Amino acid sequence: TVGAVAVDSEGNIACATSSGGILNKMEGRVGDTPCIGSGGYADNRMGAVSTTGHGEAIMKVTLARLILFHMEQGQSVEAASDLGLAYMKSRVSGLGGVVTVDPQGHWATCFTSQQMAWAAAQKDTLHYGLYTGEHFTQSI
């Protein structure tokens, strides 16, 4: 799965997620990616999320919308993302990862799986990482 979230200079927010699904899936199996609120969600008033991981688990908790609910309650992008992923892990034993952004341009990349390749571009700086805790930067 691959995905992106963005906020443009006018404050408009969008998300995109695309996936080949899970390995050796049954023919016709559809995962979380095309399901609004699970594979992704975007609302100028709250932010945007793009998700990846075990699709059946992501759908059970509607992970993208769940994280934005936490942000509506005042949680930061990081805390909301961690809360959503933690619920998915404890409730349905699913692992995954998300990229999240809010209308002010705060962003977070969180994952409970072993790795997630991510990158962010903001104020002419490129941020990126792969393993838990990694956060490298370089000038764009």
Is 125 designated active site? no
Whose Cβ is closer to another protein: residue 75's or residue 106's?
106
Least distance (Å) from another protein to the CB of residue 10? 8
Least distance (Å) from another protein to the CB of residue 74? 19
At residue 97, the 3 state secondary structure works out as: strand
CA distances from 38 to 50, 126, 131 (A): 8, 27, 24
Half-sphere exposure of 129 (CA within 13 A, CB side): 16
- Residues 58-94 as b or e (16 or more Cβ within 10 Å = b): bbebbbbbbbbebbeeebebeebbbbbbebbbeeeeb
At residue 72, the 3 state secondary structure works out as: helix
Least distance (Å) from another protein to the CB of residue 20? 2
Whose Cβ is closer to another protein: residue 72's or residue 104's?
104
Rounded-to-integer distance, Cα 131 and Cα 12, Å: 30
Whose Cβ is closer to another protein: residue 8's or residue 73's?
8
Of residues 1, 33, 52, 62, which has the active-site annotation? 1
Least distance (Å) from another protein to the CB of residue 109? 6
Active site amino acids = 1
